Structure 1
Amino acid sequence: MAKPKILLVDDTKLILELEKSFLKVSNVDVITAGDGVAALELVRKDAPDLIFMDVNMPLMDGITCCRLLKSDPFLSAIPVVMLTTLGNDEDRQRAHEAGCNDFLTKPVDRRLFLDMARKYTDAVDRRDPRIPCQIPVLFLLDGSPVGAHALDIGDGGLFLASREEVQPDQELRLALFLETEQAPLLELKGRVAWVNREGKRVHAGLPTGFGVELIEPAQWQADELKRFIEAARSAQP
């Protein structure tokens, strides 16, 4: 069976690369276009299962492209998610009138992007690949540093073994040293994604604690995490 195909349309290459990275562990084929004209050509040649499209682009903007897609009886059933600027209600209204199915706001949040993609195809995996570890971590809770241990880590998040009371969506500041040659100190922002409570565990194979999704790490931090994960993975039997 062919993989579901997702089309990403944006004139900013950095945004396209970011969205592609969100989908890297999913069982989908990802194609990209830099404007509405190229997107329309791709869709007519080989229709995707889902489209994420920016509003403002050269040659043909996303709203015009969406309107043309939704007016074509052979293409109108393809879900189109429009990316709009925060607070730009006019763009949302125009996109809604063009027939788009949903909206996301820029800058794109990884969790919201994957939740939206998952709404239209169950081939999208919202998790990032993790490796087991034993890394001491400090995080701030009500202004006080608290110690914990990361038991797994990926470039999108980690699991902290801890009995501290936290809530889903609570934002945290974390600090940890990676076990690499340079041993860099990473000071990261994160969001509690889920909680393993005593007697009510989301993941039975893990102890009391919580999963943390990292929020916009700096590029050098993301690079260090990637190097650490790749080295650990290559060392596994």
Structure 2
Amino acid sequence: MPKKILLVDDAAMFLEIQKDFLKLSSISVLCAKDGLEALEKARILHPDLLVMDLHMPRMTGDECCKAMKADPALSSIPVIMATSAGKEGDHEICRKAGCDGLLTKPFERGLFLDAIRRFIPELDRREARIPFTSAIRFQAFRVTMTGTILDLSARGIFVATEYDLDVGTEIVLTFALADANGSLIQAKGVVRWKNSSAKKIKEEYPQGFGLEFTAIAGESLSVFKHFLAKSRLDN
């Protein structure tokens, strides 16, 4: 069964931001709008991790955290507390409540996912890659480049290309699926590893890079997921 994470915030915008960060993972995402609702859901659903705002109505985040840590049935569930930038006093409140980690708003995607990985290493568990060949156009530093996709998964692709991009480079990309409609996928991603002419991480791959998706635009996401599901059945 997939790991479960409970996101707790009275601001819908922050819940949506966190859900967006996690949408390409296999983690089951649950939501609550205050500490009281979070406590109720934790008792029923027993999530693997909570990410909880401090300041909320009905029951604040620190009150909920204290209640969980005092409950033998819930005390083992890690709690990451979120506070606004520049409020050091809030950090101390969270620590005294017994939280297991701290995040600062506004959330930065990389730091947010790093915090989750501490408690749910399965966040990065790779799905089997599907052999797939398609031309790709991508842009980095306002320069348009081309390459060829050699495989893909729900989390990313390998791109064979002559362009030597550094790990961490963010790119915008477009490629076509081999479906009946020749659907175009528009996405954003970041280079996670590379095979360069000087050093190859994977000898069986040509020069290029492994890319992790950070966002797949609009309708492209549902089309992409459908294509992956069908490809797995065919294979």
The equivalences for 1:75-224 within 5 A come to 75-84=74-83, 87=85, 89=87, 92=91, 94-104=93-103, 105=105, 109=109, 112-128=111-127, 130-198=129-197, 200-224=199-223
Q: Contact 2:25 / 2:155 at 8 angstroms: preserved in 1?
A: no
Give the C-alpha shift of residue 170 in structure 1: 0.9
Alignment partners' CA distance in 1, 2:97 and 2:178: 51
CA contact (8 A) 1:128 1:154 kept: yes
Check the 8 A contact 2:19/2:29 in 1, yes or no: no
1:160 Cα deviation after fit = 0.6
Distance 1:23 1:108, change over 3 A: farther
Q: Which runs of 5+ in 1 are unaligned?
A: none
TM-score, normalized by length of structure 2?
Answer: 0.75
Report the Cα distance in structure 2 between the residues aligned to 1:20 and 1:51, rounded to whole angstroms. Answer: 14
AA at the equivalent of 2:233:
S
Residue pair 2:133, 2:149 contacting (<8 A) in 1 also: yes
In percent, how many aligned pairs have the same letter? 32
Q: CA deviation at 1:229?
A: 1.6
Q: Give the whole-Å Cα distance in 2 for the aligned partners of 1:23 and 1:163.
A: 30
Closer/same/farther in 2, CA of residues 158 and 92 from structure 1, 3 Å limit: farther
TM-score (norm 1): 0.74
Inter-CA distance 55–206: structure 2 relative to 1 (3 Å threshold): farther
Between Structure 1 and Structure 2, how many residues are aligned? Answer: 228
SS in 1 for 2:38: helix
Q: 1:64 to 1:175 in 2, by over 3 A?
A: same
Q: Is the 8 A contact 1:63 1:94 kept in 2?
A: yes
* Letter in structure 1 aligned against 2:7: V
Mapped to 2, the partners of 1:22 and 1:151 lie a distance apart of 20
Query: What's the CA shift string for 1:17-71, capped at 9, x where partnerless?
Result: 65764542x6xx766544322332344567554322234544323232123334x
Relative distance call for 1:54 and 1:151 in structure 2 (3 A) is farther
**Equivalents in 1 of 2:59, 2:87: separation in Å?**
20
Letter in 2 for 1:215: T
- Structure 1 window deviating more from structure 2 (132-141 vs 99-108): it is 99-108
Unpaired runs of 5+ residues, structure 2, are none
Tell me the secondary structure at the aligned position of residue 229 of structure 1. helix
Q: Secondary structure at the match of 2:211?
A: strand
CA distance in 2, matches of 1:187, 1:46: 36
Distance 2:128 2:83 in 1: 29
Contact 1:83 1:106 in 2 (8 A): no
Kindly provide the CA deviation profile for residues 60-85 of structure 1, in whole angstroms up to 9, marking residues without a partner as x: 23232123334x27355532112445
Q: CA RMSD in A?
A: 3.5
One of 6, 9, 28 as aligned partner of 2:7: 9
What amino acid sits opposite 1:188 in the alignment?
A: A
**Matched residues in 2 for 1:50 and 1:122: separation?**
12
The farther-off stretch of 43-52 and 60-69 is 43-52
Find out whether 1:229 has 2:228 as its counterpart: yes
